[in-house]
């Protein structure tokens, strides 16, 4: 016995996504992954007229609210119209059924009535076949879960999106509407019908993973990425190299990963490609980081000339062109692996005392009438220039802004981590902030 607003998801549910069919196993919360799409959808919507290019109407208006908690949309459009610009049909209400129990819980089994609606099909309609993943990609979607009169059978659920990544977010929301009933062993959706129009409030929704200080195998990184997809996060900040270890293979300078903890705690370039590809299929970008010049002691295990001296192992040697040749080689090799438009260059916690106590560095500074603070700025700006030449937008920790904000490259993204205060200052200088 089920409440009128309850739905049963059949054990074998066919999911169609024009032009490729896929199948949905309704064991929530995990959602199916969208297949590669080679052409726009050709299915038609009962609530909108077909367009010349595809049957499903493209989402034309963006909604200014984010509904990542799975709640139905009740705002973002004019009265009497849907967010797609068409009048909603009487069978597609905006709000859920009033039979929802207090707190959003499904109705108790004792109050269930003899009405159930089978979801026999989930239709996914994607307007564009462009699978490029970058910051700001359209992740909006509309999710419809039908309902009807008592004992009626409805056609199913529909997800409409402009891009495959919007469809992935819609699938995640759909999976979060599913509840497993341990009494009947059915997967159910309560309080149907549902209509959800959703888009992210923030273009960058990130999680930092530090595998230099604590090595993590590739399969564990994949588990983290899967978890991110459930929360609709879209950027993995991979802090892959630091003073403790250098685990990444760099073909241009193959001795660098001698700085890894052991031979078994390393990432080959194939591993890195695998992580990037795995993340892309879940709509997640990878922003890699090398933290220079102050967190780079591990670099000297393979190339000791990068150290100012055996007693001064960080910051890296600012006086040598070889230092910047190595940085350029690392960035060039990593650019082939990481297509994301942002690259993190670190720049935090730079203790320059040993530059002053190293004879050749001290002489270099004196010849140029530079202080160690000036040398720190010189190093960061030169590294930024190398990244920009590779069409990357440089990201730096906020110490760079706090120390020489007026001279930072205008493309710089300032990464706040020390507390409040820096964000309004950086925005006032027309810089982006994380």
Q: Could you report the per-residue pLDDT of 145-178, keeping only the tens digit for each?
A: 887 544 334 457 899 999 999 999 999 999 998 8
List the one residue out of 361, 418, 413, 411 whose CA is nearest residue 203: 413
List the one residue out of 246, 276, 277 whose CA is nearest residue 263: 246
> What is the CATH number assigned to the segment(s) 122-198?
3.30.379.10
Q: Could you report the per-residue pLDDT of 344-399, keeping only the tens digit for each?
A: 999 999 999 999 999 999 999 999 999 999 999 999 999 999 999 999 999 999 99
- Helix ranges (DSSP H) in 211-358: 218-230, 269-280, 321-335, 353-356
DSSP strands (E only) in 146-284 = 157-161, 178-181, 186-189, 194-198, 206-210, 235-241
The CA R_g of the chain, rounded to the nearest whole Å, is: 27
Q: Tell me where in the chain the CATH 3.20.20.80 domain(s) lie.
A: 206-428
Of 255, 325, 349, 353, the active-site residue reads 349
Q: DSSP of 51-106, one letter per residue?
A: PSS-SSPPP-S--S---TT-PPP--SS-TTS-TTSSPPPTTS-SSPPTTPPGGGPP
Distance from C-alpha of 151 to C-alpha of 145, rounded to nearest angstrom: 16
Whether the model clears a pTM of 0.85, i.e. scores above it, the answer is no
Buried b (16+ CB within 10 A) or exposed e, 372-403: beebbbbbbbebbebbeeeebbbbbbbbbbee
Rounded to a whole number of angstroms, the distance between the first and last alpha carbons of the chain is: 50
Q: Could you report the per-residue pLDDT of 244-291, keeping only the tens digit for each?
A: 999 999 999 999 999 999 999 999 999 999 999 999 999 999 999 999
Q: Give yes or no for a contact between 397 and 347, defined as CB atoms under 8 angstroms apart.
A: yes
What is the arithmetic mean of pLDDT over 201-213? 97
Residue 94: per-residue pLDDT:
30
- Active site (annotated) includes residue 349: yes
Q: Tell me where in the chain the CATH 3.30.379.10 domain(s) lie.
A: 122-198
> What is the CATH number assigned to the segment(s) 206-428?
3.20.20.80
Q: Could you report the per-residue pLDDT of 227-243, keeping only the tens digit for each?
A: 999 999 999 999 999 99
CB atoms inside a 10 Å sphere around CB 134: 11
């Amino acid at each position: 016995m089920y409440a009128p607003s309850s739905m049963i998801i059949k054990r074998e549910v066919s999911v169609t996504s024009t032009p490729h069919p896929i199948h949905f196993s309704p064991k929530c919360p995990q959602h199916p992954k969208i297949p590669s799409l080679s052409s726009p959808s050709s299915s038609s919507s009962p609530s909108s007229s077909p367009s010349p290019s595809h049957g499903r109407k493209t989402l034309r208006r963006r909604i200014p609210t984010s509904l990542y908690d799975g709640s139905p949309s009740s705002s973002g459009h004019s009265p009497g119209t849907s967010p797609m610009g068409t009048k909603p049909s009487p069978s597609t209400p905006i709000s859920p059924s009033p039979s929802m129990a207090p707190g959003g819980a499904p109705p108790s089994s004792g109050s269930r009535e003899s009405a159930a609606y089978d979801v026999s099909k989930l239709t996914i309609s994607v307007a564009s076949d462009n699978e490029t993943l970058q910051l700001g990609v359209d992740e909006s979607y509309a999710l419809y879960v039908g309902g009807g009169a008592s004992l009626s059978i409805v056609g199913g659920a529909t997800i409409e999106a402009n891009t495959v990544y919007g469809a992935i977010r819609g699938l995640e929301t759909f999976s979060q509407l599913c509840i497993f009933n341990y009494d009947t062993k059915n997967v159910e959706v309560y309080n149907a019908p549902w209509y959800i129009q959703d888009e992210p409030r923030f273009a960058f929704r990130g999680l930092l993973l530090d595998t230099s200080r604590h090595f993590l195998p590739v399969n564990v990184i994949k588990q983290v990425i899967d978890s991110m997809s459930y929360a609709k996060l879209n950027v993995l900040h991979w802090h892959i190299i630091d003073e403790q270890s250098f685990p990444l293979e760099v073909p241009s300078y193959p001795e660098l990963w001698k700085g890894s903890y052991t031979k078994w705690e390393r990432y080959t370039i194939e591993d890195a490609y695998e992580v990037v590809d795995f993340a892309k299929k879940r709509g997640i970008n990878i922003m890699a980081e090398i933290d220079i010049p102050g967190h780079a002691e591990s670099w000297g295990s393979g190339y000791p000339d990068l150290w100012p001296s055996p007693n001064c192992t960080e910051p890296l040697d600012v006086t040598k062109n070889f230092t910047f040749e190595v940085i350029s080689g690392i960035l060039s090799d990593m650019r082939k692996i990481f297509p994301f438009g942002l690259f993190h260059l670190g720049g935090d916690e730079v203790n320059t005392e040993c530059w002053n106590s190293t004879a050749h560095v001290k002489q270099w500074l004196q010849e140029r009438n530079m202080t160690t603070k000036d040398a720190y700025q010189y190093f960061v700006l030169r590294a930024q220039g190398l990244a920009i030449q590779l069409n990357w937008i440089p990201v730096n920790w906020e110490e760079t802004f706090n120390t020489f904000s007026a001279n930072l490259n205008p493309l710089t993204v300032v990464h706040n981590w020390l507390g409040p205060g820096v964000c309004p200052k950086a925005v006032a200088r027309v810089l982006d902030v994380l």
